[in-house]
Structure 1
Amino acid sequence: MLWIAIRMLTGDKQKFYGLLFGIAFSTLLITQQLTIFINLIERGASGVYNEPSAEIWVMDPVSRTSDVSYAMPSTALDQVRSVPGVAWAVPHLRANASVRTRTGDLEGVAIIGVDDATLIGLPKRMYAGSPEVLSQPDSVIIDDGGAYNMFGPEADPIGERLELNDQRAVIRGVADTIPSFTSQATLYTKYSQALNYVPGTRNRMTFVLAGVSDGVIPEVVAGRIESQTGYKAEVREDFARAGVNFIIENTGIPVNFGTTVVLGFVVGVAIVGLTFSLFIRDNIKQFGALKAIGVTNSRIIRMVAAQAALVGSIGYCLGVIGTVVFIFGFGEGPFFKGFYVPWAIPIVSLVAVIVILVITGWIALRSVLNTEPAAVFR
């Protein structure tokens, strides 16, 4: 009987393809939008992800993320170093500035000052050059996304001279980084050099990056830092989560993407429901004939369930494959760099497809269950 149900479904090619399109389109829309949403809000933690060494971030109590922070006095560095369990601690500066390129264009950039001796604070990977170039005078390293936005995809930024707050900066390296939420260009330089680029204020050290001694739990050391110094100390994972939460709480991104996902679900219900209902209506005589020869309602339900499972599985696979092709096809560009499909999103899409099929299948099945076998002969 299930084979008869499949033959009935595939025999009407227009409605069969219409059902596949409805499921595939809904799956694609839900999966793609959720994937972009997750990857986009995770860029709120890019400042933490781009710094692979620090286990603890120490900051002023009012600071919230790596981009929303308040400077501390330089004495905070020695205070952190004196806390038991801290293996090392280095200063870290993050500030915004405006640069003028050689062609006269004005660009907003983020200045990041890394430790002079250890270069802790630099991204782990480099596209061009090496971290040692920062030992040269007026040297800066630009992130790959910033180089793309400022100079174009084909230009070589190495050797480009910038005017940074009336001082010279020379690009001598390109870092491989996770783009920030705003996709703003980022310039890395030594902490002492960054102090010259950033306008003078009384306090200019933004963070203290710290590592813990072997065998010591970072959360325990963070608690000691807070109780002993009065500053806020967060482990790497918690500080990254704070950046993500800041994007969720202070932007309209969740509402916008949530609306699109809901619309994808509604469109799926509308297209699949209408097409499924037309298919059942056009085949009502066949179902009535089956009931007339003794096929029970439970067997009819299993037949319709098999039809729904067929179009659902094929359409779901097409939608997920389309999302993967889209993400990895555009993944080399600066705007989608580092995007991936979290494992939970296809599961969410699968649940949505099942709900769509259950709703539309039940609506379409009611007419079959209410059909009298005698109606076929009349």
Structure 2
Amino acid sequence: MSLALSTLIYEWRRYMAAVIALAVAGLLVLSLVGMFMGIGKNFTATIDRSPADLMVLPPDSQGFGSSQPRRNIPTLYQHPEVVEVMPYTQRWAMWANFPSPGQSAKRDGVQVIIVDPIEGAVTLPTDFPEDVILALQEPYSVVVDATSLAKLGVKVGDKAQMNGRTVNVRATISNYPSLFNSMVFMSRQTAKLLRLYDEGPRVGSLLVKLRDPSRAAIVAQDLNNMSNKQFRAWTREDLARENQAEMFKESFIVIMLGFMLIVGVFIGVVITWQTLQGAILANIKEFASLRALGVSMGNLNLIIMELSFWVGVAGLMMTGILLVGVTALANAVGLTMFYPLWSIITIAIMLLTIAVISGLLSLGVLKKSQPADLLR
């Protein structure tokens, strides 16, 4: 074990402030990234968990809100490997509960997600259990995420109104929380009864199931070649990456993350630098002893730099522990957190860089480690 690492282990209390500062700096930025990406994941949860192999959107769109001509559906069937094409249909409706005595009335806008409650249907999320599928097959039945029950003022078995028509809350699902408008799932037949679905000339995104899912990238290229610029086919992975990139093109998100990054770096550098300086000064006689034994100033500088590196590693480990706690707390209140690999790598490099810079700024303290001071 090196001298720097053993010093950090045996005198960890001296360096704890630096470790905590680095952990807070990393947590500050990562939690914001996780929150924004989690919100984006909530919006695309039904797509991410769809059995579809390809998603077909208008040629100039990377989102699911834009419409396209319905005639694109038969065009897609011209490819021999396409076995099913269905539109992804989302509507908006006004929700109102029937309050029981002592209960407050709830009225809110909701997202209506229309699915086909048949096992293996391309519009049916893969994580819907059998009891939920059976419940959706009943006329006028709806399903909501368990975290939305209180917001909507209902429980399983209650009736509610959507656009003035009565529906039955027949079951709940998990992992579809929403900070804004709650998601309400219903069958295509129920949507027709509620006048929330029509078969007009335009549709939203198209979900495509292939004969061989492993050829999704090849089929997507084939479809794009035959599209005549009327649509664009995406694999799920490519569309997810594009959606993530689109989120960070929003100026508000970029400004917030940039500001928090600057604040985090400033806090990390200042506190880590001051803590390292204080710890080195507290051990200045030990460093003077090393110089008296013939250790060069260059080697002492290397010890300080290695020590700062290990402080960065410890800060990185604490960031991971704190992030697990923050994620668990967010999930408990229905907030999805998602951390792309690039964000974790970026923060890891940032924390190690802060630690190394703080070590460099602390090297001047070693000039006070004069061997002659040992004789005083």
TM over 0.5: yes
Distance 1:352 1:342, change over 3 A: same
Q: Distance in 2 between matches of 1:232 and 1:93?
A: 18
CA deviations on 1:177-197 (whole Å, 9 max, x unpaired) are 4445x5421122222432443
| CA-CA distance at 1:343 after TM superposition | 5.4
**1:49 match:** 48
Q: TM-score, normalised by structure 2?
A: 0.81
After superposing the two structures, state which structure 1 stretch, 140-149 or 185-194, moved more.
140-149
Distance 1:270 1:106, change over 3 A: same
Distance 1:4 1:342, change over 3 A: closer
**1:248 match:** 248
| CA-CA distance at 1:239 after TM superposition | 2.8
After superposing the two structures, state which structure 1 stretch, 1-10 or 136-145, moved more.
1-10
Distance 1:63 1:112, change over 3 A: farther
| CA-CA distance at 1:233 after TM superposition | 2.6
**1:16 match:** 15
CA deviations on 1:132-172 (whole Å, 9 max, x unpaired) are 22222212222334334323xxx62x222222223222222
**2:364 match:** 366
CA deviations on 1:74-110 (whole Å, 9 max, x unpaired) are x443343343321122233212222222234221111
**1:206 match:** 204
State the secondary structure of the residue aligned to 2:63. Answer: coil
Distance 1:354 1:240, change over 3 A: closer
**Residue pair 2:87, 2:207 contacting (<8 A) in 1 also:** yes
After superposing the two structures, state which structure 1 stretch, 361-370 or 85-94, moved more.
361-370
**Residue pair 1:110, 1:186 contacting (<8 A) in 2 also:** yes
Q: Distance in 1 between matches of 2:254 and 2:109?
A: 27
Q: Distance in 1 between matches of 2:327 and 2:88?
A: 34
Q: Distance in 1 between matches of 2:52 and 2:152?
A: 29
Aligned residues with identical type, % of pairs: 20
CA deviations on 1:199-244 (whole Å, 9 max, x unpaired) are 8694453233221223872234334444257333322223333433
| CA-CA distance at 1:272 after TM superposition | 1.2
State the secondary structure of the residue aligned to 1:249. Answer: coil
**1:72 match:** 69
Q: Distance in 1 between matches of 2:22 and 2:283?
A: 21
Q: Distance in 1 between matches of 2:130 and 2:151?
A: 17
Q: Distance in 1 between matches of 2:375 and 2:4?
A: 21
**2:165 match:** 167
Q: Distance in 2 between matches of 1:282 and 1:240?
A: 52
Q: Distance in 2 between matches of 1:143 and 1:222?
A: 33
**Residue pair 1:69, 1:206 contacting (<8 A) in 2 also:** yes
After superposing the two structures, state which structure 1 stretch, 123-132 or 79-88, moved more.
123-132
**1:88 match:** 84
Q: Distance in 2 between matches of 1:331 and 1:56?
A: 29
After superposing the two structures, state which structure 1 stretch, 28-37 or 359-368, moved more.
28-37
Query: Where do 5+ consecutive residues of structure 2 fail to align?
Result: 100-104
Distance 1:164 1:251, change over 3 A: farther
**1:221 match:** 219
Decide which of 95, 100, 104 is 1:99's aligned counterpart: 95
Distance 1:364 1:310, change over 3 A: same
**2:133 match:** 131
State the secondary structure of the residue aligned to 1:197. Answer: coil
**2:263 match:** 263
**2:102 match:** none
| CA-CA distance at 1:267 after TM superposition | 0.5
Q: Distance in 2 between matches of 1:190 and 1:354?
A: 52
Q: Distance in 1 between matches of 2:117 and 2:12?
A: 72
Distance 1:366 1:5, change over 3 A: farther
**Residue pair 1:26, 1:265 contacting (<8 A) in 2 also:** yes
**Residue pair 1:24, 1:318 contacting (<8 A) in 2 also:** yes
After superposing the two structures, state which structure 1 stretch, 251-260 or 195-204, moved more.
195-204
**2:181 match:** 184
CA deviations on 1:264-297 (whole Å, 9 max, x unpaired) are 2210100011222233345545534543443211
State the secondary structure of the residue aligned to 2:111. Answer: strand
State the secondary structure of the residue aligned to 1:107. Answer: strand
Distance 1:311 1:233, change over 3 A: closer
**2:348 match:** 350
Over aligned residues, Cα RMSD in angstroms? 3.6
Q: Distance in 2 between matches of 1:69 and 1:263?
A: 38
| CA-CA distance at 1:247 after TM superposition | 2.4
**Residue pair 1:41, 1:248 contacting (<8 A) in 2 also:** no
Letter in 1 for 2:125: P
CA deviations on 1:54-89 (whole Å, 9 max, x unpaired) are 1122344454312x222533x443343343321122
Distance 1:363 1:191, change over 3 A: same
